[in-house]
Amino acid sequence: MNFYVIELILLVSVIFGGLVVSYLKATNKNQYIKLALAFSGGFLLAVIFQHLLPELYGAHQGHLHEAHTTLPVFEVGVFILLGFLVQLVLEYFSGGIEHGHVHVHKGQKMPWPLFISLSVHSVIEGIPLGNMLQMGMVDNVLIPYNGSFFWGIVLHQIPVSIALMTLLLATNIKRQQAWLILLAFGLMTPLGVVLGLGITTQQLGIDVNVILAIVVGMFLHISTTIIFETSENHKFNLLKLISIVVGVLLALWLF
């Protein structure tokens, strides 16, 4: 896949989530949406442990290490922890919409802090993908390693956009405005990819492994919250468990 296809898929994944809510009348409380969220959580967690953590800790030499100095082991852990804490701060404003939580009150005002928090998250997660694309591009083909990270983002964006659109349609703004806001959100990760294409250690003095470590920490928080979250009666639903396992196995099989 070339750069334009990647950007288009990222945007379409968000639009798809909006269509599911707008035309199929599904919401984030729908059982199938919850299972999709659990699936994405399992997929993300597998990508973290199969690819991203080994890359950061130098278990195998990836494209990032060929162009940048590997972070010391201690610093990797520090930045992963920082990403975990950053996600906690973002969720203070977003209310946990990143893992499907949204409190809908009909006619409420547009929650701009939520939108800004979610947008910041999306831009940050797009930056390492852009750098991977820059370093892993061979004849306009995205290498499979980068593909696991890319598809993890895509599969996570769909349930998040469903939750966001559910919230937008419950506010006092018009439907057309809701779509414009959703499209603006859909452009955030592609924007991060563009920023990542221009970030290099040589040019800006920013080690992209630092940003990747922060993103890994953010994803760890999101995926583990999705996975270990229980139902209202504090029981771990069997269908949710199956969805998580399927997500993990698919990630391991594809990449």
The proportion of the chain whose per-residue pLDDT surpasses 70, expressed as a percent, equals: 78
Task: Report the pLDDT value the prediction gives residue 163, as an integer from 0 to 100.
Answer: 86
Please, what's the b/e burial string for 209-225 (b: 16 or more CB within 10 A of its CB; e: otherwise)?
bbbbbbbbbbbbbbbbb
pLDDT bin (cut points 50, 70, 90) of residue 61 is: very low
The residues, any chain, with a CB within 8 Å of residue 85's CB and separated by 6 or more, are 217
**Contact call for residues 100 and 21 (beta carbons, < 8 A):** no
Which pLDDT tens digit goes with each residue over 101-154? 666 667 678 888 999 999 999 999 998 888 877 766 433 444 444 578 888 899
Euclidean distance between CA atoms 136 and 76, whole angstroms: 22
Confidence category of residue 67, pLDDT binned at 50, 70, 90: very low
Nearest-angstrom CA–CA distance, 208 and 121 = 16
Place of tokens 């409190």: 103
Judged against a pLDDT cut of 50, whether residue 59 lies above it is answered with no
Contact 163, 99 (CB under 8 A): no
Write down the pTM of the prediction.
Answer: 0.85
pLDDT digits (tens, 9 = 90+) for 187-214: 999 999 998 887 665 555 667 788 889 9
Residues sharing a CB contact under 8 Å with residue 58, sequence separation 6 or more, in sequence order: 65, 70
Q: Can you tell me the mean pLDDT for 63-79? A: 65
Distance, CA of 231 to CA of 38 (rounded, Å) = 12
Domain boundaries, given as residue ranges, for the chain? 3-254
β-pair partners for 142: 137
Query: What SS3 class is residue 137?
Result: strand
Report the pLDDT value the prediction gives residue 141, as an integer from 0 to 100.
Answer: 45
Query: What 8-state DSSP symbol labels residue 30?
Result: S
- What confidence score (pLDDT) does residue 56 get? 84
Can you list the pairs that 71-80 forms with residues at least 24 positions away whose Cβ atoms lie under 8 Å? 71/207, 71/209, 71/210, 71/213, 75/210, 76/209, 76/213, 79/210, 79/213, 79/214, 79/217, 80/56, 80/213, 80/214, 80/216, 80/217, 80/220
Query: For residue 178, what pLDDT is reported?
Result: 92
Q: Which two tokens stand for residue 162?
A: 């469903």
Choose the weakest-confidence range: 9-18, 66-75, 236-245.
66-75
